[in-house]
């Protein structure tokens, strides 16, 4: 060790004390401006009359909230959001686990298969919607033509409520299933192989080991994937917004989601007070659903592990 | 804001081999270690489903409008792709959008990586008062949805006169809590405490320690974070759509105009989709392996 002068020693102690704050401060300063401040300010805006051009008006208390809750379109968009969310997250988790199980089965050229599964992830949601809009065309779309080949009637993907939700959910699933499959795959690889070996010796088949070992061992990962897809799924905007060129979520708002509703109130009707109220309501809904999901998935997963 | 890569929490490294080979290797176990034809067949179907929409957009994007409206289905591309691409490029500020997307994604990815590595180094390896509380705060904010802040953020941007400029897209995305959390976790594992101690004993300043010791160790994790941030920013639509005007878009915003303009002519719309997707497909071809391992590394251990 090199001998040091008292001044150098004091400087180096100062350095050790101050530097950590210097390194975290850029994050916190920027975050305060672009993350934290808007959060609180949204609450403030939501309690006032406020429009895009005139700015802040009178304090109105909870009136923006009661106004929003009194609109049938709010409840309609809430229903649509939940329906699209269920249609996308449930099949997505199921398929992701199945794909992961296939990827975990000792393949040749495993990097090739993993990359192939991940490919949709790099395609922007906007691009995915435009492609699927063509595939789900009401008259000449490939999906309807294929239905015709097997003798089924064409489906009105851009009119029928449930059909539009299925089409939109399929876009979400296209982009995210492979991504989630890789997360499940990683978790599967941490399951000790001895478990499978023991199960085999006990005479369990592939399906039995899948349900009795693989699924229970994936518990934490399933909860994680369900939570992230809840937070993302309830905010869905790109896919339903671009599902037709008008962007209203359908002629009868068949696929208008909460975020489209928020956007329309804020930027079409230019009522920022109400838009901020919708933002807070959306946040509360997400919290409630994340909690419900957490409890439900944990219960399901732990019952299976018993 | 909104450029948060949806990466999972990193905790335990995973091995490809799946642990040591079992000692009592029965014939049945050995057979189990190889994939069944069923698994291959299933994955071929999944792979086709992954590729098909892209191939389809190229097929449609390479035909002329009359060929599409004839009603016959064909999976073979026509010869019109370049002509369609030229129409798209001429009718939209396409190159501008491409350049904008490159600028926005690069700046955001670099900033997120730099600021996250700095903060992550402090959280992982330095001692200071209030650290635990700050870290909990960072993690807690990861759950807050982007939509919550857009109204005031828009008000701020319009007061600053930034609406329509790239700054309005870039600045809110310069930091994200996830990045800090990711680099903290990464450096905890990748950077041995002994190295930090050794640097301190040698009389290095904290910054020198960061620069010469932490940064090299952080490189793989930082590269991953940069890659995912780049993709998330490139594909982001909602916020750029709100703050940018049609003359100065990013690629997703430009693509959306394409649909509004050529709603009936899907050969043009999908030619534009292919053009816009190309850069990220190139990124994927070069770095797909890293992307896969990035996701796999991040998974939660059960």
Whether B18 is in a domain gets the answer no
Within an 8 Å CB–CB cutoff, is residue B112 touching chain A?
no
Within 10 Å of residue B93's Cβ, how many Cβ atoms?
17
**Residue of A40, A118, A123 to mutate, testing the B interface (most B Cβ within 10 Å of its Cβ):** A123
Question: What per-residue confidence (pLDDT) applies to A230?
Answer: 87
Which residues in chain A touch residue B122, judged by CB atoms under 8 angstroms apart?
19-21, 23-24
Residues spanned by the domain of B119: 94-301
Within an 8 Å CB–CB cutoff, is residue A38 touching chain B?
yes
Whether B37 is in a domain gets the answer no
* Residues within 8 A of A (CB atoms), B 244-283 only: 251-252, 255-256, 258-260, 263, 266, 269-270, 272-273, 276-277, 280-281, 283
Whole-number Å distance between alpha carbons of B52 and B58: 10
Which residues in chain B touch residue A263, judged by CB atoms under 8 angstroms apart?
242
**Residue of A122, A222, A229 to mutate, testing the B interface (most B Cβ within 10 Å of its Cβ):** A122
Token pair in block for residue B97: 């959008």
Within 10 Å of residue B265's Cβ, how many Cβ atoms?
17
* Residues within 8 A of B (CB atoms), A 122-141 only: 122-128, 130-135, 140
Within an 8 Å CB–CB cutoff, is residue A26 touching chain B?
yes
Whether B49 is in a domain gets the answer no
Whether B8 is in a domain gets the answer no
- Asked if B242 lies within 8 A of A263 by C-beta distance, the reply is yes
Whether B177 is in a domain gets the answer yes
Within an 8 Å CB–CB cutoff, is residue B116 touching chain A?
yes
CA distance A83 to chain B (A): 20
Token pair in block for residue B75: 């999976």
Whether B249 is in a domain gets the answer yes
Reported as type and span, the H/E element at residue A51 is: strand A48-51
Closest CA to A142 of A150, A128, A132, A127: A132
| ipTM of model | 0.90
**Residue of A31, A64, A181, A272 to mutate, testing the B interface (most B Cβ within 10 Å of its Cβ):** A31
- Asked if A224 lies within 8 A of B122 by C-beta distance, the reply is no
Question: What per-residue confidence (pLDDT) applies to B252?
Answer: 95
- For residue B147, give the nearest of A130, A174, A282 by CB distance: A282
Whole-number Å distance between alpha carbons of B169 and B242: 9
Which residues in chain A touch residue B147, judged by CB atoms under 8 angstroms apart?
235, 259, 262, 279, 282-283
* Residues within 8 A of B (CB atoms), A 261-280 only: 262-263, 266-267, 272, 275-276, 279-280
Whole-number Å distance between alpha carbons of A216 and B302: 9
Closest CA to B151 of A273, A281, A123: A273
Q: Which residues contact A288 (CB under 8 A, 6 or more apart)?
A: none
DSSP calls for A94-116: HHHHHHHHHHTS--SSHHHHHHH
Token pair in block for residue B175: 């930091």
Structural domains in chain B (count): 1
Within an 8 Å CB–CB cutoff, is residue B108 touching chain A?
no
Whether B221 is in a domain gets the answer yes
Q: Is B65 left (phi over 0), alpha (psi -120 to 50) or beta?
A: alpha
Question: What per-residue confidence (pLDDT) applies to A184?
Answer: 95
Q: Which residues contact B194 (CB under 8 A, 6 or more apart)?
A: none
Question: What per-residue confidence (pLDDT) applies to A303?
Answer: 60
Confidence (pTM): 0.89
In contact, B244 and B169? CB cutoff 8 Å: yes
Listed as ranges, residues in chain B with pLDDT below 70 are 1-34, 66-72, 262-264, 298-302
CA distance B14 to chain A (A): 6
- For residue B255, give the nearest of A34, A127, A221 by CB distance: A127
DSSP calls for B50-108: HHHHHHHHHHHHTS-HHHHHT-----S--S-HHHHHHHHHHHTTHHHHHHHHHHHHHHH
Q: What is the CATH number of the domain that holds B236?
A: 1.10.3720.10
- Asked if A127 lies within 8 A of B256 by C-beta distance, the reply is no
Q: How many CB pairs below 8 A link A and B? A: 334
- Asked if A20 lies within 8 A of B127 by C-beta distance, the reply is yes
Mean pLDDT in consecutive groups of 10 residues from the start of chain A, 306 residues: 70 85 91 85 90 81 94 96 95 95 90 95 95 90 92 94 97 96 93 88 85 89 88 92 91 95 93 94 90 82 58
CA distance A162 to chain B (A): 22
Within an 8 Å CB–CB cutoff, is residue B22 touching chain A?
yes
Whether B206 is in a domain gets the answer yes
């Amino acid at each position: 060790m090199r001998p040091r002068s008292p001044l150098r020693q004091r400087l180096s102690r100062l350095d050790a004390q101050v530097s950590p704050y210097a390194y975290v401060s850029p994050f916190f300063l920027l975050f305060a401006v672009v993350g934290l401040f808007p959060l609180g300010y949204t609450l403030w805006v939501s309690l006032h009359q406020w429009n895009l051009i005139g700015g802040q008006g009178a304090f109105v208390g909870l009136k923006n909230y009661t106004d929003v809750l009194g609109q049938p379109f709010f409840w309609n968009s809430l229903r649509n959001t939940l329906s699209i969310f269920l249609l996308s997250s449930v099949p997505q988790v199921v398929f992701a686990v199945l794909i992961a199980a296939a990827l975990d089965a000792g393949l040749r050229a495993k990097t090739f298969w993993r990359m192939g599964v991940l490919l949709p992830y790099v395609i922007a949601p906007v691009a995915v919607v435009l492609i699927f809009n063509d595939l789900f065309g009401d008259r000449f779309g490939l999906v309807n033509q294929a239905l015709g080949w097997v003798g089924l009637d064409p489906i009105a993907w851009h009119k029928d409520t449930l059909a539009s939700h299925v089409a939109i959910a399929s876009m979400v699933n296209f982009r995210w299933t492979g991504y989630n499959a890789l997360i499940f795959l990683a978790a599967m690889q941490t399951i000790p192989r001895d478990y499978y070996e023991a199960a085999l010796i006990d005479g369990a088949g592939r399906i039995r080991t899948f349900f009795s070992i693989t699924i229970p061992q994936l518990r934490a990962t399933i909860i994680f994937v369900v939570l992230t897809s809840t937070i993302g799924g309830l905010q869905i905007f790109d896919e339903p917004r671009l599902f037709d060129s008008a962007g209203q979520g359908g002629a009868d708002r068949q696929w208008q989601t909460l975020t489209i509703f928020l956007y329309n109130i804020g930027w079409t009707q230019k009522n920022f007070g109400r838009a901020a109220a919708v933002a807070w309501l959306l946040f509360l809904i997400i919290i409630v659903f994340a909690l419900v999901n957490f409890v439900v998935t944990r219960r399901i997963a732990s019952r299976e592990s018993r | 804001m909104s450029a948060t890569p949806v990466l999972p929490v990193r905790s335990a490294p995973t091995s490809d081999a799946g642990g040591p080979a079992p000692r009592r290797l029965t014939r049945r176990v050995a057979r189990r270690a190889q994939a069944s034809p069923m698994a291959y067949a299933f994955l071929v179907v999944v792979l086709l489903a992954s590729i098909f929409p892209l191939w389809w957009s190229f097929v449609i994007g390479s035909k002329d409008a009359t060929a599409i409206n004839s009603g016959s289905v064909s999976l073979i591309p026509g010869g019109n792709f370049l002509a369609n691409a030229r129409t798209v490029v001429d009718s939209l500020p396409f190159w501008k959008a491409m350049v904008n997307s490159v600028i926005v994604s690069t700046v955001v990815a670099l900033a997120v990586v730099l600021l996250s590595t700095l903060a992550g180094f402090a959280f992982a390896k330095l001692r200071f008062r209030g650290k635990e509380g700050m870290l909990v705060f960072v993690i807690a904010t990861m759950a807050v949805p982007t939509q919550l802040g857009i109204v005031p953020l828009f008000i701020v941007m319009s007061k600053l006169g930034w609406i329509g400029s790239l700054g309005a897209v870039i600045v809110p995305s310069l930091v994200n809590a996830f990045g800090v959390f990711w680099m903290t976790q990464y450096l905890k594992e990748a950077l041995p405490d002994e190295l930090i101690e050794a640097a301190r004993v040698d009389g290095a300043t904290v910054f020198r320690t960061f620069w010469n010791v932490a940064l090299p160790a952080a490189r793989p994790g930082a590269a991953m974070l940069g890659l995912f941030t780049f993709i998330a920013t490139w594909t982001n639509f909602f916020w750029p759509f709100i703050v940018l005007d049609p003359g100065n878009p990013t690629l997703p915003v430009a693509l959306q105009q394409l649909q509004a303009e050529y709603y009936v002519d899907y050969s043009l719309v999908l030619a534009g989709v292919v053009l816009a997707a190309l850069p990220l497909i190139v990124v994927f071809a070069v770095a797909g392996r890293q992307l896969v391992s990035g996701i796999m590394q991040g998974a939660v251990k059960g």
